[in-house]
Structure formats: structure tokens, C-alpha cells
Structure 1
Amino acid sequence: MQDILINRAGSYMHAGTEFSGGNMTHLIYNDPSFEVTHDVFPKGTVGCFYTMDTEEFEFNYIIKGRLEIFDVKEKVLLSPGDTFCYQKLERNHLFKAIDDVELLSIRKTPCFGEFEESVTHLNEILFQLQNVDGDTLSHCERVKNLTMGIAYYLEFDQSQLLNLFYAAKFHDVGKARIPVEILLKPEKLTDDEYEVMKTHSRHTYEMILEYYGPEVAKIAFDHHERLDGKGYPQGLKGDEISLAARIICVADAYDAMVVTRPYRVGMTTKNALAELRRCQDIQFDSIVIDALEKYLLDLDKEIN
């Protein structure tokens, strides 16, 4: 039919752009006035609907799964068949996929290409790292999810939420510039090797700076700092470390402890939290640990 545009099931204008952790966006249709996408979020994904300078309008229909939308004031749980829309958000809102979720999204202002360009390059680097070490991409996604959950319970500054999101998402991307023999060494690193490994923070800063600017890059740069000043790369202490960096620091350490590696079994949630508590106000911020514990408790309730 010449006057009707038909796309068969599974046929898209742009298929399968994977942004991270299994999140997929398929472009169904776009022209200068609007676009339609099919968005897929695996269970546990935490993301952000964020304020924009444009007069954006977006309509979403939930095809599959339950989606929780929340901000500092309230939570709303949506199910298949439910819809939500927004225009010119006054503040950022987080969302969490309670199940595997699929959305049909219609946007007044096409942004697929712009978003894809800003995210794809660093994601491709993480995918390459995943092929090398088997975990960096997955680790970054888990840390991003933990970070956004912590931010909710801390009532984190809404204007900075998107910066935190991208800093957590790409906090280890600089490891792509670390020699493989050091990155994958199963034994304890020598002092010289450890100094090389620590340079991944500087590499991360440089790589994020190009795409997201100095604020996002600085958050990621500082996530290995400690409250007692014994961290790296600058030896910052106390309030010299931003709350955003302190959040990622706790999320990063927790994930490192609970995930099983080839050379060790991961800790239980209880033991990992106990280890964070042992180091609170020395290495980690106690209020961030409090927020993590609340988030994990809520997560456990949802699972059970």
C-alpha cells in the first residue's frame, strides 16, 4: 500500500540500540515533528526522566511489566495497560523496573539520535571492556542502579540527579586504558602496578569530560576518595568530597563485595553492610550507608 507505511513485527527504522545492562531502544518511526520508540528495561533497571530546556512532550504506554516512578515526595506503581505522559518536567523523576518492562513511547521532540550519539561511544568502550574482563559493563550498570536508589532515600538534589546518573554509569570507563595484564592479573598487584591501576580515575575523567562536561567528570574522578583523606587520586577528605562521589563510592564498594569472582565467593548483603559499617566515617559516609540499607530493604521486599 503506497499510502500506508507498514512495519512488520520486529522491523524498525533503527533496531536494537543497547545503552547498557540490556536496556534497549528501538526506533519505530520519526520525522521532524515526533518520534516513536519501543523501549526495553530489564528487571531492576533504575533510570531517570529528566527536565529539559525544550518544550518536550512524551507519552508512554506500558506494554509489559510493572514500572515504579518516584521522586523525593512519592512513588507510583504502574502496570501493563497504564499510561503516563509529561511536558516540561519541573523536576527529575527516577523510575525502576519491577519486572522486565517494555514501553511504547511517543515524543513530540525527536531526541533518539542525539541521545544515542551521547551515550553510544562510552557504552561501546564498556562493551569492549566486558569482552575483556567479563564484568565492567555489568558492574557499572549495577552501581548506577544502586546509586540512583541511594539518591532517592537521601532526597538528593534534583538539579544534579542526571549528573549523578551518568557519573555512576561510566565511573569505570577509564579502565579501558589500563594494560590488560594489570587489569586481569589474578594475584595481588605490585605497588607499581597499583599506581598504574589508579590512573583509571584520570582516564575516566578525560573520557567523560568530552561527552558530559566537567561536573559529571569530577564526580566520577572522586569516587575512590576516602573521608579520612587516604583515598585517591587527590587525597581529598571530608566535605572536600562531594555527596555525589560519596554515594558512588559506597555503591561501588558494596557491589565489589557481594559479586562472586572467579577467585572468591561474594559476601552476603548482611556481611557487606557490616563491612561498610566497620569503615563508616573513615572511608565511607554513614548517611550514605543508611540510605543504601533502606534501598536494599525495599528491594528485598519487592523480590519476596
Structure 2
Amino acid sequence: MRLWLHKKIFTTQRPLPNLLNFAQIINEQELLPSHPVEVAIERVKEANDKLADLSSRVAEGFVSEFHMNLGGMIRGIVQADVGGGIKNYQPFFTAQCRIHCSEEENRCIENLISLIFEQITLLEYSLFIHSNNTPTPTTTTTTNSSSSNAASFHNSLVASFNSYKCQIETQFGKTSKSLLPLGASIYSKCDQNEMIGKLPTNVAVNNNASNSSFLSPPSTINNSPTATRAFRSHSVSEFQNSQNEGNLSTRNSQISSSSSTNSGSGSSNFFKNSPLGTAGNLIKSLQVNKRI
């Protein structure tokens, strides 16, 4: 019952804020209480929109302004120790609740589940953007400490996300949706380099490729239809075609040479002309397909 939201509209004699932090109320209107499921849907939608907006801004090159905010937003969802996160909505998903709910209420609960799956997809994409803009530890002692802390923070986000995703899929089933391009990874660059070093010797990898080549073990490649449709930019299409033709190393060299002329980060250059350059398109790309 504590999730029922009661709203009131107060009309003041003078507009606020003003010189004084108070004003006389001349009218008061109480709205109908909002259903707990409607409140949950509103909050998850708000979180998804904000997550998509922040990841898009970082991908477009506004790293210094929004990279820290993106990491904080991801942490607030996957490590919701204070607000409780999705744990607050668990009573809606119990069999006892579903039996007593009306048909309309059950439809709202299904809509909430779909939004939670959408959030999983957005979290994965946001972690990919965050990893490509997280500095890696170097041999320079002055910057090694901060870079190491940044990489450790990102790794903690990935670990929490994997646990969060496992919890959701265990309860509601798995989803095949993904916004990641082929060969992309949510892990930090250091972890990707370690994983690449463990590849069989017959796998050709260009170590000079930039971040835009998305080097990762072949086993991590996501072939979901959503990922294929979501990334239709010219550079991604060429990357996929060259990979299918067995020219992966050649294509990586081309991407590396073109990326070296740009001063921005790899993910920023890659997504600059991507159809997912805005938060609205991110949300639309998820709503094209219904959850399987």
C-alpha cells in the first residue's frame, strides 16, 4: 500500500521561487491516487530515458561532461542499495498478486516486465559506451592510479550488471535483444586485451586496431536480429561484410588508420553518424520488436 502515489496541485498567490520561500495557497486540488504498478512503470520509464540520453551524449563525444554521470546512473540501477530498485516491485510478480489483479492490472504488470527487459538492453549498451571511454592503466605513475580506479569502478559495474541480468532472466526468462555491434564487449579494455591474449594462435588479431574495431573473442559476438538492425551505419556494414568474407585483419587496419586522424575517443567517432545518436532512437529501436 505504501507505493500508492497521492498527488495534490497547489496554486499560490505569488509565483515561486521568489524573495520569500513561501507564499499563500489560494487553491488546492487533489488528484486520484496513482496505482502502484503505474508508479513503477513511470519510474522505470524515467530511468530508461535518462540512461539512453546519457549514453547517447557520451557516444557523441561529450565524455568529460557526462561520462561520470553515466557511470553513476548505471550504478544506481544495478547497485540499488538505498532505493531498493527492482526489489520494490517484486510483490507485483507473485502468483498471489496476479490472481487477485484485474485484466487491466495484469496488462500493466506485463508492460512493467517489458520495460525491465528494455532496461537490461540499455544497461548493456551503456556499459559498452562507458568502457570505451574509461581510461586504461599505463606505465606513467602520475595517471596510473586514477586510471586503475576508473577501470576497477567499471569492472564493478559489469559484475553487478551480470548479477542483475541473471536475476531478471531467472525470474522472467531470457531475452535476445542487444544494441551492441558485432564483436563489441562491455568489459574494460584491459580485460579485453587479456581475453584476446588467450585466443588460439590460429585466430588473427590486429593489435594496432583502435577502439572502433571492437576486438573481442569470437565467442562474445552477438548475432541477435536487434543488433543487426540497430547498427545500420556505413562503417558497421563494412565491418560486418569484411568479417563475413574473412578479411577481418585488413578491415581492422583500415579502421585503425581512419581513427588515428580523429582526436576523439573510438566510441565517439564510431557512433557519431550512427542511427542511434539520440536517446529517442535508442528507445525506438528497442520497441520495434516485442519481447520473445
TM normalised by structure 1 equals 0.26
* Greater helix proportion: 2
* Greater strand proportion: 1
Computing the radius of gyration from Cα coordinates, the structure with the larger value is 2
TM normalised by structure 2 equals 0.27
Structure possessing the higher relative contact order (Cα contacts under 8 Å, 6 or more residues apart): 2
